[in-house]
Structure formats: structure tokens, C-alpha cells
Chain A
Amino acid sequence: MNSDLIVFLVLSLVAISSALGMLFSRNAVYSALFLVLNFITVAVFYLLLGAPFIAMSQITVYAGAIMVLFLFVIMLLGAENLAPGNSLPWQKPLAGLLSTILAVEAIYILFSRARSDAVITAPDASLNTMESLREMAMTLFSDYLLPFEVTSILLLVAMVGAIILTRREKGGQS
């Protein structure tokens, strides 16, 4: 048993328990915090796979920016505590059905792939250098330039939309 495997097992325990904690805590702020823990654990998984760039982006974007906004909204709306009653009675059976289907599909694909010899391995550790970062940037800005630019335009449109929605109209009631 090598040290990577031990780290992996401990991390998966943390990841799964934080995901469960997010689902089952009744306070929205605690849920958000469990989700942050989960995101950081996933970032450490990326580090184990030799992808430090993705790990750091994961922490910056998800754990840093997006979850802070989530917390911000939860606190501003004062929606920390869930009402005790269940307002959507059909939600639970539907969720149970859909997640069962997903689990069955995942297990089927896992075992059907396991029979073939295609084994997913971690990328070579020697790729874990500045050069790989450079190569990634090169690919992103040459082969995938169009999707990249389309994404940025999408984000720009979202930003403009947000500004227009919150803008106070001249002469209208504030």
C-alpha cells in the first residue's frame, strides 16, 4: 500500500462525508461550508493527479469566488434555516427514482469498462512542469480559441444583463 493510496482513501472519506453533510444539514450556511470543504478536497484530488493548474483554479473559482457569492446571498436573504415542513411532496420519490437510475447506469458503465483493458492512469508526473502550463495555454489559445472566445462573450452578456437588471431607470420609481 503506497502513500498515494492512503492519501486517496482518506481524501475520498472527507469528500463523501462533506457531500453528505451538505445534503443533510438543515442550515444553509453549514451546507455551503460543507460544499466548500468538498471543493477543496476535489482540488487536492487534482493535485494527486498531477494537475496543479486545475487544482488552483478549482479553489480560486469555486471555493473562493462562487461559494462566497452563495454565502453572500444566503446571508442577505436571511434564508439560513429551512422550514421544517416538506413543501414539495412529489420531490422525494422523484429524486429517489432519478438517483437510482443514475447509480445503476454508473455501475453498469464501470463494470462494462472494467472488463475491457482500457485502464485510466494518472498522467505522467514529468508533465507536471511549467512547460505543461505553457502547452495548455497554447492549446487553449490556438485549437480551442473559438470556444474560449464564445465563453467570454457569454460571460460578458451575463454581466451586461446583470447590470441592466439592477439599473435604476431614469424618472421611474426607484
Chain B
Amino acid sequence: MDWTMWVEWVLKGFVLCLILLTGFAYLTLYERRALARMQVRVGPNRAGPQGLLQPIADAVKLIFKEELTPGHVYRTVFILAPVLTVVPSLIIAAVVPLGSSFMMFGREITLYIADLNVGILYLMSIASIAVYGIVLAGWSSNNKYAMLGGVRSSAQMISYELSLGLCFVIAIILGDSMNLNEIVDAQKGMWFAVIQPAGALVFMIVTLAEVNRAPFDMPEAEQELTAGYHSEYSGMKFALFFMAEYQKMIVICMIAATLFFGGYREFWFLKDTFFSVDQNWFLGPIYLLLKVIVLLFFMIWIRATWPRIRYDRLMSFGWKFLLPLSLVLAFVTATGILLADMFNNQLYFWSIPFISIFILLVAVSFIYRDLRRKSHGRF
């Protein structure tokens, strides 16, 4: 282990943090502009051309805001909570491959920080740690609204983590590995979103709940809890929560792209052309960026169009719909691959997408029936 390796790691970590931080800044602009378009407004367009300097103006505003620490809070935890929220959202990106590798200064430089053989478990463990920041922010504020926001979010994140884990299982089964690089390589021929479309859909829904985005933004439901867990925060401490939320959005889209949409790989039908990552390494990050932008657009679109779901329905949706559905989907995927291996017949493998879409439709029809029965007042 020579010193150039250390330099490489430190530089790559630094660059990744920079990417995520600027990504956060421009995601706020992207969201505001896109939301404005959907609501027939213009959005922020004054600072710089097309409002491109708006994030800098926002940052200056937040830095110069007065920072208030209320007298009744638990001080240590109150200061620790924003840090505990931001750190997981940064370090979770360490295992996500941004591209293949290239040669520079006579050594091979890979476009990922850590090549863990338990990469998916690493994602799981960091995701389960991430809940602490919000819970502790709620508790240390010593305020009933903030507390309720924190408790709600912990219940929500624990509930949806189960389905998240099962969606990870689907990707593990399909990729035959827990290493994210190998999962991306396994999608050379076909994206997992094509083989298991229902699984990809469930994964996207669950991640919305995991990062507390609309329509699952329970911890900060304004009409019930004022601002939820960050009611008592102001200035840069509030900005850290804000930052963590948007970074989580970016990272979770990177993970979704990696697990189900081919990661940094090109479309499968461009495999041996000029546009392939195997022939031009610099296309890898560009493809990933494009996929992340498209997935982020879906998140913003959902926020613009869907009302917030009621809390009891959120819980029953997680436990009674998503959990059984993702269990069945994991079972179908495993069975399909096993049968295809046993009888050496690819027909079984290609029946996976059709069967899983059928199962999804059956589950949705159950929800539809349930809602109709409720609206007629019969239980």
C-alpha cells in the first residue's frame, strides 16, 4: 500500500463529496424550476442566466441568517442531530460505481471509492443508521410537534426498510452478487428493470418513503406538525437538514439506477457500438448522470401532482401492500431463475416480467376494491 493509493482515495472521496454538494445545490434549482413549470409559473430566473446562480444566492442567505438555539433543548444532541443526518447521506455513495476505469499517470484509476463484496449490505446498514438524525432532532428539540415528527419518521422508515430490503434481494438474485460493480456488469445484456418491472416500481415507491419525500413526507406535515422535526432549527443547522434530504434524493436515485437501470452502462442495444462504456470510459458518468436526472424528475413530478397520504394509510400501505407484494416478487424472481437453470429453458426466465406485472395488477385491484368498500361505508 503506497502513498499514491492514499492520495487517490482521498482525491476520489473529495471529488465525490463535491459532486454531491453541487448536485444538492442545483437539485434545489431543478426542483423549483420544474415545479414552477408544472404549476404554470416561471420559477426563480433572476440570479444569473436562467436562474443558474440562484443556489449561490440561497447559500449566502442561509449563512447570514441568525442561528438560534432555543433554551429548552438538549444541547449536545441538538447540535449532533444535523451532523448525523448529513453524514450517512454522503458516505452511502461510496459503494456506488460511477463508471469503469481509466489509465492516468501509468496507473488504473477506478471510478468508485470502495469495491465491497457486501456492497448492498453496506447500503442497508447506512440506510438504517440514517434514521437517527431525524429521531434525535425531534427528541432533542424538547417540543411536542418536533417529537411527533421524529417518532413518526422512525416508525415509517423502519416499516419501509423491510420492503426496501426485499427489493435489494431481487437485485441480488438477478445479479447473483452483492457487489454493486458485478450487479452493473450483470446488466450488460438487459436491465433488471425490464426483467423485474414490478420490483423496480416497488423500489422507487419505497425509496420515496425512505427519504421522506412527498407523498410520504410525514415527519414534516405542515398542517399537523408545523414543520415537524426541524421546527426548532434555524440558519445553517436547518440548511444541513435541507441538504441531507436533497443529497439523499440524489444518492437514492444513483442506487436505483445502479440496481435496476443498468448503472453507468449504456442501453443494452448499444452494447458494441461507439456509445458503449467499454470503448469510451468517459461515457459512464454521463450515462449515470442522465439516468439520475430522469429519476429525479419522476420524484419532482410526484411531489407536484400527488397529495400527502394519511398516516394510518401510509402504515397499512407499507405493511399490508408493499411488504407482501415485494415478498411475492422476490419469490417469483428466485423461482423463475431456479426453473430456468433446472430445465435449461429460458422460457421460465422470461416469464418473470409477465408474472410479476400480473401480480402487481392483482395487488392494485385489491387496493381499489378496499378503497371502494371504504368509500361506501361498509367495513
Contact = CB atoms under 8 A, between A and B. Distances in A.
A71 B125 CA distance: 17
Contacts of A69: 158
Interface string B111-144: 0000011100110110111011001101100000
Interface string B311-342: 00000000000000000000000000000000
Nearest to B147: A75
A63 B177 CA distance: 25
A72 B155 contact: yes
Contact of A57 (B77, B121, B127, B158): B121
A64 B121 contact: no
Contact of B178 (A71, A75, A128, A133): A133
Contacts of A29: 74, 77, 136, 139
A53 interface: yes
Given A53-B118, A63-B129, A68-B131, A76 B151 contact: yes
B154 interface: yes
A60 B121 CA distance: 8
Given A60-B124, A133-B178, A75 B150 contact: yes
A65 interface: yes
Given A29-B77, A133-B117, A64 B151 contact: no
Contacts of B139: 29, 71, 75
B351 interface: no
A128 B117 CA distance: 8
A57 B118 CA distance: 10
Contacts of B121: 52-53, 56-57, 60
A60 B124 CA distance: 7
A67 to B, nearest CB: 8
A98 to B, nearest CB: 33
Interface string A68-97: 110110011000000000000000000000
Contacts of A60: 121, 124-125, 128
A29 B136 CA distance: 9
Interface size class on chain A is 20 to 34
A59 interface: yes
B69 interface: no
Contacts of A64: 124-125, 127-129, 131, 161
B179 A130 contact: yes
Contacts of A52: 116-118, 121
A27 to B, nearest CB: 8
Given A59-B128, A64-B125, A130 B154 contact: no
Contact of A68 (B116, B118, B135, B179): B135
A90 to B, nearest CB: 33
A56 B128 contact: no
Contacts of A22: none
A163 B23 CA distance: 43
A74 to B, nearest CB: 9
A151 interface: no
A79 to B, nearest CB: 12
Contacts of B124: 56, 60, 64
A35 interface: no
Given A56-B124, A65-B128, A72 B118 contact: no
A155 to B, nearest CB: 12
Contacts of A100: none
Nearest to B151: A75
A15 interface: no
Interface of B: 74, 77, 116-118, 121-122, 124-125, 127-129, 131-132, 135-136, 138-139, 147, 150-151, 154-155, 158, 161, 177-179, 182
Q: Which 6 A-B pairs have the closest CB atoms?
A: A64-B128, A56-B121, A59-B125, A60-B125, A130-B117, A52-B118
Interface of A: 29-30, 33, 36, 52-53, 56-57, 59-60, 63-65, 68-69, 71-72, 75-76, 128-130, 133
18 contacts: A29-B136, A33-B136, A52-B121, A56-B121, A59-B125, A63-B129, A65-B161, A68-B154, A71-B132, A71-B135, A71-B139, A72-B135, A72-B154, A72-B155, A75-B138, A75-B151, A128-B117, A130-B177
Given A59-B128, A64-B131, 16 more contacts: A29-B136, A53-B118, A56-B125, A57-B121, A60-B121, A65-B158, A68-B128, A71-B132, A71-B139, A72-B135, A72-B154, A75-B135, A75-B138, A130-B117, A130-B178, A130-B179
